[in-house]
A and B are shown apart, each in its own frame.
Chain A
Amino acid sequence: MLTDEIIMRKVAGGDIKQCGVLFERYNKRLYNYYFRTTYDGALSEDLTQQAFEKIIKYRSSYKTDNSFKSWLYKIASNVMNDHFRKEKSHRNRNQLYSSGKEDTEDPYSQIDKKESIAQIHRALDKLPCDQREVIWLTRFEQMKYAEVAEMKGVTESAIKVKVHRAIKRLKAEYLQLEKL
């Protein structure tokens, strides 16, 4: 199986159709990256589409010795930031979502056997977007702090602090829910 980097080199060289392979490998992951951060299915699909469009448009800027995954997530992160900048409602959206969540019946409450997974979802929901994002990148995508730092344009230690804060807050929210 060809590596992502080899395929991306082909795309950069003009074989655009090869991007279909990368789409197949990453569309669900990217969708979940957006979905876990925004909790908006339609918006997550739009952002995923935009991210892949940007990969094709900016294919020649891909540096062949860089990890494709880091490059992809850097683009994906920029797409999300651009979106929220345009909307000028990142914070409002967050507040709106979390307040809406509290008012609605919990979808996971119907399934007792999956209670612990439901609880982790509820705890994750209570985290701010940027903390959910670093948890997604370091746990689900298993990206190193250095990779996330490069993607975000910050230092590795700044990412480490952010990840630690996110995990501590997650634990606090999880235990708080357990008390209810």
Chain B
Amino acid sequence: MSPLTIEDQIIDYLNDEMSSSERTEFELLMQNDEKLRSSVSQYSQILKEVDVSPQSAPSAALQKNFDRFINSYAAGLNEGPQISQSPKTFNLMGRGFQQAAIFIIILGVGLLIGLNIKSGEIIDQYAHQQDIMMDLLKAKSTSHRVRAVNMSHQMQDKSDDIINVLLQTAKEDESPHVRLAALDALSPYKELTNVKRVIMHAASQDDDASVQIAAIQLLKQMDHQDAIQTFDHIIQDRNALNFVKDEAYSGKIHLVQNTY
């Protein structure tokens, strides 16, 4: 390794990488050298600023995705052959107990069948709504497509299919009214990575100012630091309308202030 330069020695000194004799020798050097003292102080200040530099926070989607993964992984591990009760134990039960057990099993099976019918009805209803929504989205009439998007509000826990259709609509529908409605429908899912990307795209690329403003406002609510770049893009876009730029500027100030 090449001999240490004075800068290397400063870094070693500040990083506590010197032996005690090297340290004493270096401190003696510092006492007699003002330029060296000034360099040490400069490095020290820079490293302190690095150390206190604030950390960014990931979005809530990260925690949700991890929870979802760990739950499904743990469930997968727990799935294994069921351990059946030994016949010997069963024989130890009294006759009355056996009858009660049979009654409970019959009741349980009945309940399960009932629940399955009910949940089957709910699934059918959901699928029916989804089909209608998809058909309406293909309609030429703008009002029909807005109606289709609004139907999604009634669907609790939207499926990935519905979210993907809404993402595509928010990005590609020819009518700004429909794109606006799709953004609104997606707002509860704004922390999901793919939704966030479409919102950012709408804020900076949509050719309708009302859609841009709605997207900027959603980004402001999300407090995502990576939205700053989107806001910068809008502020510097020569084709963007002034009031859109103002909204982006206000969003940027909001995010920068929330950083510190």
- A residues within 8 Å of B by Cβ? 14, 16-17, 19-20, 23, 27-29, 31-32, 35, 40-42, 44-46, 48-49, 52-53, 56, 100, 103-105, 107-108, 110-111, 114, 116-117, 119-121, 123-124, 135, 138-140, 157, 160-161, 163-164, 167-168, 170-171, 174-175
Contacts and interface: CB of A to CB of B under 8 A. Distances in A.
Given A42-B196, A120-B50, A31 B56 contact: yes
Interface residues of B, number: 50
Given A23-B63, A100-B229, 4 more contacts: A16-B70, A27-B66, A103-B236, A120-B53
A27 B61 CA distance: 12
Contacts of A28: 55, 57-58
B92 interface: no
Interface string B47-78: 10111111111110111011101100110010
Nearest to B194: A42
Nearest to B75: A16
A45 B1 contact: no
Contacts of B61: 45
A114 B260 contact: yes
Nearest to A139: B50
Given A107-B252, A117-B52, A121-B53, A48 B228 contact: no
Give the 7 A-B residue pairs with the shortest CB-CB distance, closest first: A41-B226, A104-B232, A31-B58, A120-B49, A107-B228, A16-B74, A32-B55
Given A19-B70, A23-B66, A42-B196, A107 B232 contact: yes
If over half of B's interface residues share one DSSP class (helix, strand or loop), that class is named, otherwise mixed; here it is: helix
Contact of A108 (B47, B49, B236, B256): B256
Contacts of B197: 42
Contact of B43 (A110, A121, A171): A171
Nearest to A145: B17
B253 interface: yes
A89 to B, nearest CB: 18
Nearest to B59: A45
Contacts, number: 127
Q: What is the interface of chain A mostly: helix, strand, loop, or mixed?
A: helix
- From B51, B58, B65, B257, name the one whose CB has the most chain A CB atoms within 10 angstroms: B58
Nearest to B14: A167
Given A42-B193, A107-B256, A20 B70 contact: yes
B161 interface: no
30 contacts: A16-B74, A16-B77, A19-B70, A20-B66, A28-B57, A28-B58, A31-B56, A31-B57, A35-B56, A40-B226, A41-B58, A41-B225, A45-B59, A45-B61, A45-B62, A46-B193, A49-B66, A104-B233, A105-B235, A107-B252, A107-B256, A108-B256, A110-B253, A111-B257, A117-B53, A117-B260, A139-B50, A140-B53, A163-B15, A167-B46
Nearest to B260: A114
A129 to B, nearest CB: 16
